[in-house]
């Protein structure tokens, strides 16, 4: 048993107490294979307008460029699965129907970071959720929180894929207790067949430019006319590949009530009468503000035309 076993066990207990459903520690190193795949993905243009992914490539491939002296990576996941709060023809992905997960997870991460800093004076700890230059799925996969499905989302055998990921990078020494899990997609191709816009161009490879999630959240400017009819009513994000995945059939419901606190009644009437002022007021604490008013309006218009 390593001398860091006790600290690691207590850290993981604290993480669970704070509401993280999954937690495991891995040793940091350069992500040789995953970095090479990211490089190829960028080279094929699948990244679309997300230039920030390419600009931070070196950091994404090497966590020591994000936190010098990093000695452990704590991989975390939180279940957000819940019944659809969207009632009408406009569709919003589950992850964005309640309060913004960045806020919910950041609150928990801040407390976990504080705990670790108190336990390891002099060491440095950095928390990331989504926006940091870290390949969260690659680390979570290495830690055994799940495997990467063919739709390119991490699947946990008990929770399914409705989980948010986060990491702590720390210079403190911890015991690595994560082990990768076997890929359990096997011969299934349901997500690839169900994707309305053909965005999963090969198993495990997503062309973001064709992905409705990208088009509704990240893409700025008009959507290519050929893509518009394929957007299937989605106005923010898309859940189709997760909805059809057999590993999500028995997904348990989240224990976090903030994911169920809708900022607006998700009905067609409410969305049809939204003004720019309402958008700013209503989505201040919601992930939806990422689309900006221009993007949201564009997505409503496309979905309305398909109704
Ligand atoms: C950019 C980004 C997007 C982009 C690109 C998505 C993507 N698949 O990469 C867009 C805007 C499309 C997007 C959409 C969504 N996203 Co997003 N996104 C990110 C972000 C910021 C970076 C991901 C990244 O590095 N992508 C670049 C590509 C190259 O990376 P990759 O998928 O890991 O690539 C691997 C595979 O291609 C694989 N591979 C390639 N070939 C082969 C071959 C074999 C045989 C194998 C095994 C593997 C393999 O190797 C690559 C390297 O490991 C992360 C947060 C983070 N910091 O990590 C969140 C993140 C991945 N997103 C998340 C979510 C929830 C979503 C959505 C579900 C939201 C929604 N409902 O609309 C969708 C899902 C769409 C989909 N099918 O993936 C979660 C996923 C949680 C989970 N359980 O995995 C994350 C982790 C955010 C978080 N903190 O929780 N997202
Ligand atoms: S999120 Fe939607 S568009 Fe993107 S890969 Fe999944 S099903 Fe296809
Ligand atoms: S639908 Fe099938 S292939 Fe796609 S991620 Fe789920 S198990 Fe894997």
Same domain, 31 and 151: yes
Whether residue 33 sits in one domain with residue 164:
yes
Structural domains in the chain (count): 2
Instruction: Kindly list the protein residues whose Cβ atom lies closer than 6 A to any atom of ligand 1.
Output: 34, 37-38, 41, 50, 53, 93, 95, 129-130, 134-138, 148, 151-154, 161, 163-166, 204-206, 208, 211, 213-214, 217-218, 237-239, 241
SS3 8: helix
Distance of CA 242 to the CA centre of its chain: 13
DSSP state of 156: B
Count, residues in the chain: 307
Q: Two tokens at 142?
A: 């290495």
> Domain check: are 65 and 161 in the same one?
yes
* 155 falls within a domain: yes
Closest by alpha carbon to 22, among 272, 261, 254, 287?
A: 254
Tell me, what's the pLDDT at 2?
80
CA distance 145 to 77: 8
Pick the atom of ligand 1 nearest to 141's CA.
53
Do 106 and 248 lie in one domain? The reply is no
Nearest residue (CA) to ligand 1, atom 10: 214
User: Does an H or E element contain 166, and which?
Assistant: strand 163-170
Instruction: Specify the pLDDT at position 169.
Output: 98
Residue 88 falls within a domain, yes or no? no
Q: pTM for this one?
A: 0.98
CA quadruple 94, 101, 202, 188: dihedral sign: negative
Calculate how far, in angstroms, residue 172's C-alpha sits from the geometric centre of ligand 2. Answer: 38
Instruction: Write down the catalytic residue from 130, 183, 232, 268.
Output: 130
Which residue is closest in CA terms to ligand 3's atom 8? 185
Stretches in the chain below the pLDDT threshold 50? none
Ligand nearest to the CA of 192: 3
* 130 is known as an active-site residue: yes
Phi/psi at 259 (nearest 5 deg)? -75, -10
In a domain, 245, yes or no: yes
Pocket of ligand 3 (CB under 6 A): 149-151, 185, 188-191, 244-247
Q: Which domain holds residue 247?
A: 190-306
Measured CA to CA, the distance from residue 130 to residue 132 in angstroms comes to 6
Residue 105 sits in the same domain as residue 238: no
Convert the pLDDT of each residue in 101-126 to its tens digit.
999 999 999 999 999 999 999 999 99
Question: Tell me: the pLDDT tens digits for 220-270?
Answer: 999 999 999 999 999 999 999 999 999 999 999 999 999 999 999 999 999
Token pair belonging to 130: 């989504």
Tell me, yes or no, whether 194 lies in a domain.
Answer: yes
């Amino acid at each position: 048993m390593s001398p860091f076993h006790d600290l690691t066990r207590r850290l993981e207990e604290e993480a669970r107490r704070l509401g993280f459903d999954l937690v495991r520690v891995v040793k940091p190193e350069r992500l040789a294979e995953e970095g090479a795949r990211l490089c190829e993905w960028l080279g094929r243009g699948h990244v679309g307008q997300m230039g920030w992914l390419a600009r931070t490539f070196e950091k994404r491939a090497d966590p020591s460029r994000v936190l010098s002296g990093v000695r452990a990576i704590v991989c975390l996941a939180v279940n957000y699965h819940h019944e659809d709060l969207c009632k009408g023809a406009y569709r919003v992905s589950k992850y964005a129907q309640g309060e913004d997960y960045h806020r919910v997870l950041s609150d928990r991460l801040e407390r976990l970071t504080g705990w670790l800093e108190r336990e390891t004076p002099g060491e440095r700890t950095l928390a990331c959720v989504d926006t940091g230059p870290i390949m969260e799925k690659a680390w979570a996969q290495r830690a055994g929180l799940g495997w990467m499905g063919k739709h390119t989302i991490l699947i946990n055998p008990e929770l399914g894929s409705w989980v948010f990921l986060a990491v702590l990078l720390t210079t403190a020494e911890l015991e690595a207790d994560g082990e990768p899990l076997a890929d359990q997609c096997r011969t299934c191709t349901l997500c690839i067949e169900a994707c309305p816009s053909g965005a999963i161009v090969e198993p495990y490879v997503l062309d973001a430019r064709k992905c409705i999630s990208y088009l509704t959240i990240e893409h700025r400017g008009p959507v290519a006319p050929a893509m518009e009819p394929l957007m299937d009513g989605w106005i923010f994000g898309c859940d189709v590949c997760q909805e059809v995945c057999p590993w999500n059939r028995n997904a348990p419901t989240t224990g976090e009530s903030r994911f169920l606190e809708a900022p607006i009644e998700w009905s067609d009437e409410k969305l049809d009468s939204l003004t720019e002022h309402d958008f700013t007021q209503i989505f201040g604490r919601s992930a939806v503000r990422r689309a900006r008013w221009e993007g949201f309006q564009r997505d409503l218009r496309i979905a309305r035309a398909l109704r």
